[in-house]
Structure 1
Amino acid sequence: MDVSSTLVFAGIILVLLWLFSVNNSSKHRLPPGPRALPLIGNLPQIDSNAPFKSITKFSETYGPVVTLYVGRQRTVALFGYDVVKEALVDQGDDFTGREQLPFMLKATRGYGLGISNGERWRQLRRFTLTTLRDFGMGRKGMEEWIQEESQHLEAHIRSLKGQPFEPTFLLGCTVSNVICCLVFGERFNYEDKQFLRLLNIFTEFIRFNTSTMGQLYAIFPWFIERLPGHHHTVFAQMDEVREFIKKKIQEHKETLEPNSPRDYIDCFLIRMNQEKDNPSTEFIYDNLVSTVMNLFFAGTETTSTTMRYALSALIKYPEIQEKMRQEIDTVIGQNRCPNMEDRKSLPFTDAVIHEVQRFLDIVPFSVPRYTLKDISFRGYTIPKGTTILPMLHSVLREEKQWASPWSFKPEHFLDQNGNFKKNPAFLPFSAGKRNCVGESLARMELFLFLVSLLQHFTFSCSEGPDSINLVPEYSGFANMPRMHDIIATPR
């Protein structure tokens, strides 16, 4: 058989496979959606530069629950607060499945908390939440760690003597050191070359997954894997992170004192030893390595990116920055560290931080869910094996939930008397049983770090406020803010 005949034969087989999957789907009452093409599904209708925008447009025609095909993968997108809450909270047990994202599967070897399901997920999530809380996540002990790290950050910025700098890696170091204290039991110097290398790898990994090639890898991993390209470099770099983590685990094994655990790794190693004879345990070495990778990565990137975006927003809106500073000076002054008790007395500052998270919309799709069984939802049947996209973008920008969803307005979180008010549609950490495991830590970091920075510095840029563009540079799996050189003038 010649090459052309082989290609035709392969094409026929693929079309038959697609037709089989579509016919199989017709047995269920799927939500409505746009007509899909063989093999590539609805990809031609999705803008790779901002896929969440294209997918959101489908809801204008087909309603708040939409079926589409990303390649051959059947996908159901959920739009608006009411629908997302109904799925993730009211029917939370049905939507606990996690999509096996190809790039995460490759990086973690399929182990760890991030993309696990079933008993593995239950065991690891319960243990992780309990252990992180025991070591102070959301409590006074963690507050002191963040306050100490704030002082390191302040000292480093002062050493720049008002010169412009790009804050990505500095903020990455600051935030990462907090999770490093929890997981590794140590912090790293801002000049540590290996530490900076790891943070650079995290940034490259996010950029790759947000790029067009990263999106293609997520849809056609079996094909892209066989092509030359930058993705091979990115995954080789993630192997460097794995080796770093393995080295730290070995150091912990050699110095472990079972009656005096120092951090997350110690606690996991102790649990591994306790359950070594349990054939159904999930406390195994591979899960330790990959869960530490999950925590290290997630505990660094999202919070540091949000802080960087916050500084850009404050430079773009200097009147907001000044109003925050006046409130902070009145309540705290400049001579003591802020603490979480101060938040109730800083309603405007708290509102700005919430608005930064809403407006950045860092994970517009949330982290995709996956149906582990057939699910009945809003009169439809969503078959087992369907990807679920809870469109957080549609919640954070929903017109009936926010007065001016497309404008940066801290007033979204203030009542008519200037008091902070909650909005149930504020879901940057997702919702339900698979919401962000580090939500309380991230909230504490954002508040304490940003308040501390505004106590001691005024932020600006050489080109002026109008030069700041808050539209993300990349919009794929995540919204990645643009980089700006900023100036921190000591007060």
Structure 2
Amino acid sequence: MLDGCQNIVSIGLALLTLYLFVRWANIFVKKKRYPPGPWGFPIVGHLPLLGGELEKTYLQWWKQYGEVVSFRLGSWKAVIVNGYDAVKDAAERSDDVFSGRPPLLFNKAVTETFGGLKLISFETFSPKFLHLKKIASRALKNYMLNCDYPHEDLFRDEAIKLSNKLFMQGNKEPMQLASHVELAVESMVYQMFYGKGKEEEIEANVQEVVDAMSYINKFLNADNSVNFMPWLLYLKQGKIEEFKQAILATDKVTKLKAEERIATFEQGQVRDMVDALLAFSNEMPEEENAESFPRAYLIHQRVAFQTAIFDPVCRTILFIILYLTKYPEVQERVNTEVSDVIGNDKAVGYKDRDNLPYLNAVILEVMRITSLVPTALPHSALHDTKFRGYDIDKDTMVFFNLHSVSHDKLFWGDPESFRPERLLNEQGHVDKEKRFRILYFGAGRRRCMGEMIAKILVFITTATLMQRCSFKKAEGCDLDTEPIRGAVYGPKPFKVIVQSK
């Protein structure tokens, strides 16, 4: 009898244990439904599977696994969000859950380099971030509306200087344009922030800035193992120090100019972008909280603006010239439109974009096909959430696949083909729906703050060049549109013949 009771008790305990285990599994395991994804490796995750062409790998995963794909970058959980609808839904969530920034190594290195001051690009989502972004946006608007020397005049003057240099040096012999475009854009950005004139200050330092930006671009590349496996820091400490030195090189000259502007600032005067920022910093107390920022912290954000404008704009203009040269029939149509609408002498303005729909379509098509920053900077989940029926854990790294939006075959038909006319409607105007499908500057709260000024700069520079120059393929010189990959994609070196019109 006693044995029977013991057996019953044992069976009961076993059943109770099984019941509790099942309940635990339901609560903690079965209720978690993570996005599908490829098999990875221990420790390194999926880093070995990404290859050198990330955007193509991600497109393949989209096709195989769907809109949301789960993978791992070293010690980090990650998801890639694919397609226009999914990217827009994720980026524009009302709870902003995917607007965080992961504390990656490069983020920490930048902050350490600047003595603890963070750039808005790397600030995680918070009331502080929102307030800082609002102030920076107001400062940019203040500059654009009230600057003593209008920004469009500045961009046009420098574009004319660029065109003169190009057809003086490239009229007969093939020439590489990169250094000239870089100097012109750096000159525009420099004068935008630190006042008109003194071009010699820029020319003397531009190569150092360009080289530093190139190094930073490589370091920030999405497959950089040091960013995702912190234990490698002990093996690659030298790389981190080189990265910090590259950051300091981009700020060496401009820091002195900022200090000069601060010393001569007068309330109500807007000589440049630094003045526009100072106008807001003077109204704030020195204590830093969610509603105020020290002057040094606010002025420091000029670095984020300069970086966000200089490198992408340079690469965009070079890509535009590359595609116009590779497709002479497109260039001829642009030249005809510019000649008919603007002529050879009229000053180009941003308002002319509506009267130059084909040129506008060419710029947009270059932006679409190149996908300069194919997955944007990485975001992170601020808390546990669900998306498209899947669980996303807090601190998961989130990538928005902007390349998938601009290369969606269902929408674009032949996304690998360069066809500017695809962006024009039956009336010959730029198609709004298609224009909004090109998320060149990101989406949601993390959309690039410098988008408007970058668009103006690119348009005025391109229109002015087309008004004054023509670009021809040189015999034996390759025009390869396959990009050099990094955090920001760019064209391979190429040579063209430049002629005046």
**TM-score normalized with structure 2 length:** 0.85
1:258 partner amino acid: Q
Moved more, 349-358 or 95-104: 95-104
Change (3 A) 1:80 1:447: same
d(CA) in 1 for partners of 2:163 and 2:338? 16
Q: Aligned residues, how many?
A: 464
Residue 199 of structure 1 deviates from its aligned partner by 2.7
d(CA) in 2 for partners of 1:138 and 1:268? 12
Aligned to 2:423: 413
Aligned to 1:69: 72
Residue 294 of structure 1 deviates from its aligned partner by 1.2
Residue 227 (structure 1) aligned with residue 236 (structure 2): yes
**Which of residues 198, 203, 211 in structure 2 aligns to 1:200?**
211
Moved more, 329-338 or 286-295: 286-295
**Which of residues 445, 456, 459 in structure 1 aligns to 2:457?**
445
**Which of residues 385, 388, 406 in structure 2 aligns to 1:396?**
406
Once the two structures are superposed, residues 232-285 of structure 1 have per-residue CA deviations (whole angstroms, 9 ceiling, x without a partner) of 334312222333333223212321223424333334445444333544155235
Aligned to 1:114: 121
Residue 34 (structure 1) aligned with residue 38 (structure 2): yes
Aligned to 1:262: 271
Aligned to 1:276: 285
Contact 1:216 1:224 in 2 (8 A): no
1:486 partner amino acid: V
Runs of 5+ unmatched residues, structure 2: 1-26
d(CA) in 2 for partners of 1:272 and 1:446? 30
Aligned to 2:15: none
Once the two structures are superposed, residues 370-405 of structure 1 have per-residue CA deviations (whole angstroms, 9 ceiling, x without a partner) of 111222222222111011100001101001221211
1:300 partner amino acid: F
d(CA) in 2 for partners of 1:345 and 1:317? 22
Contact 2:109 2:240 in 1 (8 A): no
Change (3 A) 1:336 1:292: same
**Which of residues 81, 85, 91 in structure 2 aligns to 1:82?**
85
Change (3 A) 1:138 1:405: farther
d(CA) in 2 for partners of 1:25 and 1:357? 43
Contact 2:372 2:440 in 1 (8 A): yes
Contact 1:112 1:289 in 2 (8 A): no
Residue 484 of structure 1 deviates from its aligned partner by 0.6
Change (3 A) 1:247 1:27: farther
d(CA) in 1 for partners of 2:30 and 2:303? 40
d(CA) in 1 for partners of 2:245 and 2:29? 38
Q: CA RMSD in A?
A: 2.7
Residue 412 of structure 1 deviates from its aligned partner by 1.9
Residue 102 (structure 1) aligned with residue 113 (structure 2): no
1:380 partner amino acid: Y
Change (3 A) 1:250 1:406: same
Aligned to 1:490: 500
Change (3 A) 1:387 1:149: same
Task: Classify the secondary structure of the residue corresponding to 1:354.
Answer: helix
**Which of residues 135, 148, 161 in structure 2 aligns to 1:127?**
135
Task: Classify the secondary structure of the residue corresponding to 2:79.
Answer: strand
**TM-score normalized with structure 1 length:** 0.87
Change (3 A) 1:55 1:138: farther
**Identical amino acids, percent of aligned pairs:** 26
Residue 227 of structure 1 deviates from its aligned partner by 2.4
Higher-Rg member (1/2): 2
Runs of 5+ unmatched residues, structure 1: 1-22
Moved more, 66-75 or 339-348: 339-348
d(CA) in 2 for partners of 1:488 and 1:246? 36
